[in-house]
């Protein structure tokens, strides 16, 4: 199945590393004009070396005013949006601190809402529809030890996805989420390099392995494309069957 985004403009947050970077590069290869958003200048510089056609935007999405300013122009005329930026700080329930709670919800939920508002207003005004994909997690639907706040933010993001799908659908703006298991990004490989620790998770995945970045990117591309034109409000597990158990 060939997917082309020629003539489309895509915006990807958290585009400096991992899933976001893979998505930005894949969209560019499929012909899209890509706007890559991240807060780390070095990541943007290396991304541009790899794909000079990408338009970089360096901003901290946790800053509402700075985001509004940075995306005022770059966020216009966007057809495809991927809300990938996320923050994870693992704390046991009894040790959750107010600052970590606030930072997590600010990035994982509030920033996704804000960027989506900016982009969806433009989509609605143009009357051309569009597609938005929020990057959630299997942690939205399954409790994981020491993931109290992370699980809560991803559960909130899933419900935000559904409400967005409900309210934006009449404007032909589709909204879905992708919910991966552990993904073998650079961070994922570091965090799950211990075979014993990895076994505690892979033993619960029927396919017996973690996801690769490409596995998640392919699902994102499908949901962004017209191949999924009747798919709206879905939370799509990319988890090897973890949530089926």
Res 145: pLDDT: 87
Res 201: pLDDT: 93
| CA dihedral (63, 66, 69, 74) positive or negative | negative
Res 94: pLDDT: 97
Cα angle vertex 10, ends 131, 227, to 5°? Answer: 40
Query: Over the chain (245 residues), what is each successive 10-residue block's mean pLDDT?
Result: 95 97 98 97 97 97 96 88 94 95 97 98 96 97 92 97 98 98 88 88 96 98 98 98 93
Q: Is the pTM of this model over 0.85?
A: yes
Give the start-to-end residue ranges of the domains of the chain.
9-183+212-238
Res 72: pLDDT: 87
Give catalytic residues, as residue numbers: 150, 154
Looking only at the bridges linking them, the beta strands covering 173-180 and 80-83 are unpaired
Res 157: pLDDT: 98
CATH architecture of 9-183+212-238: 3-Layer(aba) Sandwich (3.40)
Res 129: pLDDT: 98
Give CA–CA dist 54/32, Å, rounded. Answer: 9
Strand order in the sheet with 130-135: 55-58, 33-38, 9-13, 80-83, 130-135, 173-180, 235-238
């Amino acid at each position: 199945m060939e997917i082309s985004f020629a003539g489309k403009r895509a915006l990807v947050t958290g585009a400096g590393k991992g899933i976001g970077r893979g998505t930005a590069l894949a969209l560019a290869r499929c012909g899209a004009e890509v706007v890559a958003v991240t807060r780390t200048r070095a990541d943007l510089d290396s991304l541009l070396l790899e794909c000079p056609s990408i338009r970089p935007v360096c901003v901290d999405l946790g800053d509402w005013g700075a985001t509004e300013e940075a995306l005022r122009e770059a966020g216009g005329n966007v057809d495809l949006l991927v809300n990938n930026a996320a923050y994870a700080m693992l704390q046991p329930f009894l040790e959750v601190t107010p600052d970590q709670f606030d930072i997590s919800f600010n990035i994982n939920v509030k920033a996704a809402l804000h960027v989506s508002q900016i982009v969806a207003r433009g989509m609605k005004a143009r009357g051309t529809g569009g597609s938005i994909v929020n990057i959630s997690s299997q942690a939205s639907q399954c409790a994981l030890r020491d993931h109290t706040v992370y699980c809560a933010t991803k559960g909130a993001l899933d419900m935000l996805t559904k409400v967005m799908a409900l309210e934006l659908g009449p404007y032909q703006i589709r909204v879905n989420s992708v919910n991966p298991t552990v993904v073998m990004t650079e961070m994922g490989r570091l965090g799950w390099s211990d075979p014993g620790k990895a076994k505690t998770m892979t033993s619960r995945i029927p396919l017996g392995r973690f996801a690769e970045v490409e596995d998640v990117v392919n699902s994102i591309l499908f949901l962004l494309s017209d191949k999924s034109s009747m798919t709206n409000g879905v939370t799509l597990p990319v988890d090897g069957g973890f949530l089926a158990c």
